[in-house]
Chain A
C-alpha cells in the first residue's frame, strides 16, 4: 500500500470515501449532460411534430446500414470499456491496457464511419447553408432536419473525441503503473463518461435513422 500515499487525499476518511465522492461528482456532471442533450432533443421533438413530412424525407436520406453498424461498434466499445474497468478493479495491468486500446480502436472506427457519412452528405449537398440543395417539397424544413442531424451527431462525435483523449491518457497512466486493485477511480469515471456517450447514440440512432423506414 506504499503507493496509495500519492493518490489518497487527506481530507477523505479513506480511499472508498474518496471514490464515492468522485462517483457522485461524475454523476452530477453526467446529469448536466443529459439536460444539455435534452435541449437539442426537445428541439428535435418540436420540429418533428411541426414538420413530420420533412423529417421523414430527411431521415430517408440517411444510411441505415452504416448507422446500425456504428450502433454495434459503439455497444462493442462499451463492452470493452466495462471489461477495462473490470481488469482495473482486479489490478490486472496488461488486460487493462489491452481493453483501453480496444475501446480507443472501436471509438476510432465509429468516428471513421461517421466521417464517411458526413462526406456523403457533403457530396449530396445536404449540408445546411447556401449550398443546400434538396429536390422535393418543403426543402427549407428538410434543411432544419439536417441542421439538427449535424448538431446532434456532431456534438456526440465531439464527446467521442474527448472520450478517446481521456482513454489515451488512461493508457499512459496504466503503463506507468498508476492503477491497482486499491485505486482505479479514473478508469471507472472515464468508463461512466464513455457509457453515457453510448446511451446518447442509443437514442440518436432510432430518432434519426429509423423513423419512417416502413
Chain B
C-alpha cells in the first residue's frame, strides 16, 4: 500500500476543469469589472490551486496531518501579506510628532 490510487478518469476530469478555469480567467480579464477584475482572477487561481492540491497532490486522501500543516502554511502567508499591507496602507493616516 502506498498512498491512495485514484482512477485515471478523475485526473482527466481535473485537467479538464483546470483548462476551463484557465480559459475563463483569460476571458474575464478582457471585461472591465473595475476592482472586481483582480478578485475574480484571484478567486479562479485559488480554485485551480485547490483542485491541484486536493486531487493531483492527493491531499483529499492523505489523512489529517497534511491538511493541518498546509493550513498553517497558508495562515503564515496570510499573516505575511496582511501585516505588510496594513503597514503600507496606514502610513499616511497619522503624522508622527516632529515630522
Contacts and interface: CB of A to CB of B under 8 A. Distances in A.
Interface string A175-201: 000000111110010011001101100
Contacts of A198: 52, 56
B30 A46 contact: no
Interface in A19-76: 19, 23-24, 27-28, 30-31, 34-35, 38-39, 41-42, 45-46, 49-50, 64, 68, 71-72, 75-76
A210 B19 CA distance: 16
The range of chain B's interface size is 35 or more
B94 interface: no
B17 to A, nearest CB: 10
B41 A206 contact: yes
A81 interface: yes
B45 A202 contact: yes
B73 to A, nearest CB: 3
A35 B25 contact: no
B66 A24 contact: yes
A90 B7 CA distance: 11
A79 B55 CA distance: 10
A141 interface: no
Interface in B41-99: 41-42, 44-45, 48-49, 52-53, 55-58, 62, 65-66, 69-70, 72-74, 76-77, 80-81, 84-85, 88-89
Contacts of B81: 38, 41-42, 45
B80 A211 contact: no
Nearest to A90: B5
Given A19-B2, A50-B88, A199-B48, 5 more contacts: A31-B73, A49-B89, A202-B52, A206-B44, A214-B32
